Chains A and B, each alone.
Chain A
Amino acid sequence: MTDTTIIRTEDLTKAYGTKTAVNHLGLEIRRGEIFGLLGPNGAGKTTTILMLLGLTEPTQGRALIDGYDCTRQSMQVKRITGYMPDNVGFYSDMTGRENLRFTARLNGIPEKEIDPLIDRLIEKVGMTYAANQKTGTYSKGMRQRLGIADVLIKDPAVIIMDEPTAGLDPEGMREFLRLIKQLSVEDGKTILISSHQLYQIQQICDRVGIFVDGSLIACGGISELESQIAAQGHYTLEISAEPCDDRFLEFLKELDGITGISGEDSTFVISSSKDLRIDITRFLGTHEYKLLHMHQKGGDLDEIYRVYFEEAEKEGDENHDKSGSRKHRFSHRRA
């Protein structure tokens, strides 16, 4: 085992009856990085996290955190791993400080050290002003920040967050992401975030894994995934021109390398296997069209996600033609 890898799963599988929630997952997360586990709801992200924490037993394979087996040595794993569940809950009749004190006691921190520690942590997450309020009065964003303080009490090496950004307002989101980044950069924590919200994760993650139907279909840095997409020849171009007539559409359809056209109002979305911008602008120029809007998409995580997601769908269709509802959602793009 190399020292740079802190979380490792080997052939990790979890089946509920006949349904496989996590399918032979092999994942390696390096010390000190922020890793984003991305996928639609029900992809198996939470199940993976539960197995990492030893809260559910894998059907097959194993997971290791810092060399400890997550199932057999869950006590050691839980000592170095902080977990923030989605919808993090606190005892609403207790104040924020009392909630943290309870966690500190569960972790066996000596009574004398508890209060200074809590002071420092609530300061860090910016909750000093509300520390003595009952958590029942907290907003979602406040609970989330208290959740981070709660996780930090045991001074974990690894922090696992399940859908931490769900339901936060934009301002709360910004602050939250800043805090996570700070934890990674200043304190050197390894952070695993599961999410289905792509834009936010893109801002802070060093690497991401895309998780669909229990399988990791892509894994790497944002730029790595980007170049993978480019190598596979996926381009998406948004274009709108005036007049928007059939002649223009005919021209687009006959272009080389087109894989799909869809239209919305007067804007076409063109998928292609190569860059078509020069061809199209030449055509528009020579036939006296007025170019209103042109935008080459790609590179952002949404695009990456869409491409990989579609690929998984296609494979899924070929293997067992059952994911009909999702196929439908994307069918207009393939047209």
Chain B
Amino acid sequence: MTKAAAGSTVSATEEHKRRSIRYHSLRALYRKEMADHVNSKRFIIILILVIAMTIASVYGAVTGIKSAIMNAAVDKNASFDASYMFLKLYTTGGSSIPSYMSLIALIGPFIGLILGFDSINAEKNNGTLNRLVSQPIYRDAIIIGKFLASSTLIVVMVLSTGIAVGCAGFLTSGIRPSGEEAVRVLIYLLYTIVYICFWLTMAMLFSVFTRHAATSALASIALWLFFAIFMSLLAGIISNAVYPVNTEYEQAVNALNNYNLNLNLNRVSPYYLYSEASSVLMDPATRAINAVSYTQLIGALSSYLPLGQSLLLVWPHLVGLLALSFAAFTISYIGFMRQEVRGN
């Protein structure tokens, strides 16, 4: 028949039409998801969390830096390193208040999880997904639209808090960023965005494969706890079992192997990858992240690493985080495309 033939031969107009379908459906889904997020109660929770985090960390940093300077002025033994002061706004905590860096490492994943844990299965349970897939749209537009909307929010949140911390610190303490410091902060914020997006994709992965939103929320929190707490314990246990360091002899033989295995196992965890990368970026005094022997240190100047060298240390971390995110997103993408969407 003519219609069937027209369908099989893809003309230029057909191709154009197809692209425009992809564009307007993705746009509609993106807009709807954004509106959904912004109007939801959970967004208010995120907002409160983020604002509280920003204020607390600025306060902590300013008081922390101030007391360090005071100490240095009073006590001759206490020294205060005045270089890279602007970065200290992010890395310094005050009395019992954690720094911005540690706060966002803690709360960031939760924001990713909150934005993603019910993205697919809630639509399934509400019966909106089968209405959605019966519209003339490509199915992947649904999951891509959801990811883009949530990651947009993450980008906005991370950039605005990160810049707000810098501005507030500048206003209250008068610490000005140098060009290199500003670039370091921006790159650090980029790492943070990728890290939080990884947790978003993990949460979406669970939401594709579990039936209830509660299950996927619990599963992703469990995964986060595992990486944040248990992974380092597990890495220690495994590396001690493989390279025991109980006797002096074993220590002499196995210490380096033990350390390296431990480190590599830890680096499976995105949590560890992110914290290692952010400490290198935000503290130019960090010169190496692997074990360094004494012979390697001979003749080394104890100076700060320039930005390019710091980046050289941590670019594998960015690749690793991106790869993990892509893997999680790909699995959920394929799973979602192959799933049969039935009424409940």
> Footprint of B on A, CB under 8 Å?
1, 46, 50, 53, 55-56, 66-69, 72-73, 75-76, 78-79, 81-93, 102-103, 105-108, 150, 154, 162
Asked if A107 and B135 make an inter-chain contact with CB atoms under 8 angstroms apart, the answer reads: yes
**Per-residue A-contact encoding for B1-15, CB less than 8 Å = 1, 0 else:** 101100100000000
- State which of A78, A84, A86, A87 has its C-beta within 8 Å of the C-beta of B135: A78
> Footprint of A on B, CB under 8 Å?
1, 3-4, 7, 18, 20-21, 24-25, 27-29, 31-32, 36, 39-40, 126-138, 340-344
Query: B3, B4, B130, B340 — which one has the most chain A CB atoms within 10 A of its CB?
Result: B130
User: Which residues on the A side are within 8 Å of B340 (C-beta)?
Assistant: 50, 55-56
Complexed CA–CA distance, A168 and B185 (Å): 60
Complexed CA–CA distance, A1 and B1 (Å): 8
Complexed CA–CA distance, A89 and B130 (Å): 9
User: Which residues on the A side are within 8 Å of B27 (C-beta)?
Assistant: 105
Can you list 19 residue pairs at the A/B interface with Cβ under 8 Å?
A: A46-B342, A50-B340, A53-B134, A55-B134, A69-B7, A75-B21, A76-B7, A83-B131, A85-B130, A85-B131, A85-B134, A89-B127, A102-B32, A103-B135, A105-B31, A106-B24, A106-B135, A106-B136, A107-B136
User: Which residues on the A side are within 8 Å of B31 (C-beta)?
Assistant: 105
Known: A50-B342, A56-B340. Is A106-B3 also a contact (CB below 8 A)?
Answer: no
Complexed CA–CA distance, A68 and B128 (Å): 25
Asked if A46 and B343 make an inter-chain contact with CB atoms under 8 angstroms apart, the answer reads: yes
User: Which residues on the B side are within 8 Å of A73 (C-beta)?
Assistant: 4, 7
Complexed CA–CA distance, A267 and B21 (Å): 64
Q: Is the interface of B mostly helix, strand, loop or mixed?
A: helix
- State which of B18, B20, B128, B136 has its C-beta within 8 Å of the C-beta of A91: B128
Asked if A93 and B131 make an inter-chain contact with CB atoms under 8 angstroms apart, the answer reads: no
Asked if B343 and A162 make an inter-chain contact with CB atoms under 8 angstroms apart, the answer reads: yes
Query: B25, B27, B135 — which one has the most chain A CB atoms within 10 A of its CB?
Result: B135
* Top 10 A-B residue pairs of the complex, sorted by shortest distance between their CB atoms: A89-B127, A105-B28, A83-B134, A78-B136, A67-B3, A89-B126, A79-B136, A89-B128, A85-B343, A85-B130
Asked if A87 and B3 make an inter-chain contact with CB atoms under 8 angstroms apart, the answer reads: no
Asked if A154 and B3 make an inter-chain contact with CB atoms under 8 angstroms apart, the answer reads: no
Known: A87-B127, A105-B24, A162-B343. Is A68-B134 also a contact (CB below 8 A)?
Answer: no
B25 to chain A, nearest CB (A): 5
B21 to chain A, nearest CB (A): 6
Complexed CA–CA distance, A289 and B127 (Å): 59
Asked if B344 and A67 make an inter-chain contact with CB atoms under 8 angstroms apart, the answer reads: no
Complexed CA–CA distance, A100 and B325 (Å): 34
User: Which residues on the A side are within 8 Å of B132 (C-beta)?
Assistant: 106
Asked if B126 and A102 make an inter-chain contact with CB atoms under 8 angstroms apart, the answer reads: no
- State which of A1, A46, A78, A105 has its C-beta within 8 Å of the C-beta of B134: A78
User: Which residues on the B side are within 8 Å of A81 (C-beta)?
Assistant: 134
Complexed CA–CA distance, A154 and B137 (Å): 12
Complexed CA–CA distance, A89 and B126 (Å): 5
Complexed CA–CA distance, A83 and B132 (Å): 10
Asked if B40 and A93 make an inter-chain contact with CB atoms under 8 angstroms apart, the answer reads: yes
A331 to chain B, nearest CB (A): 33
Query: B1, B36, B39, B342 — which one has the most chain A CB atoms within 10 A of its CB?
Result: B342
- State which of B20, B39, B130 has its C-beta within 8 Å of the C-beta of A93: B39
Complexed CA–CA distance, A93 and B37 (Å): 11
B315 to chain A, nearest CB (A): 40
User: Which residues on the B side are within 8 Å of A56 (C-beta)?
Assistant: 340
Complexed CA–CA distance, A55 and B136 (Å): 12
Known: A102-B28, A108-B20. Is A88-B134 also a contact (CB below 8 A)?
Answer: no
- State which of A67, A86, A105, A150 has its C-beta within 8 Å of the C-beta of B343: A86
A107 to chain B, nearest CB (A): 6
Complexed CA–CA distance, A18 and B70 (Å): 78
User: Which residues on the A side are within 8 Å of B135 (C-beta)?
Assistant: 78, 103, 106-107, 154
Complexed CA–CA distance, A72 and B8 (Å): 9
Complexed CA–CA distance, A148 and B200 (Å): 35
User: Which residues on the B side are within 8 Å of A78 (C-beta)?
Assistant: 134-136
Known: A83-B131, A103-B135. Is A66-B3 also a contact (CB below 8 A)?
Answer: yes
Asked if B136 and A75 make an inter-chain contact with CB atoms under 8 angstroms apart, the answer reads: yes
Nearest A residue to B138 via CB reads A75
Known: A73-B7, A88-B127, A91-B36. Is A55-B133 also a contact (CB below 8 A)?
Answer: yes
Nearest B residue to A64 via CB reads B4
B66 to chain A, nearest CB (A): 46
User: Which residues on the A side are within 8 Å of B20 (C-beta)?
Assistant: 108
Query: B1, B134, B344 — which one has the most chain A CB atoms within 10 A of its CB?
Result: B134
User: Which residues on the B side are within 8 Å of A79 (C-beta)?
Assistant: 136
Query: B7, B126, B136 — which one has the most chain A CB atoms within 10 A of its CB?
Result: B136
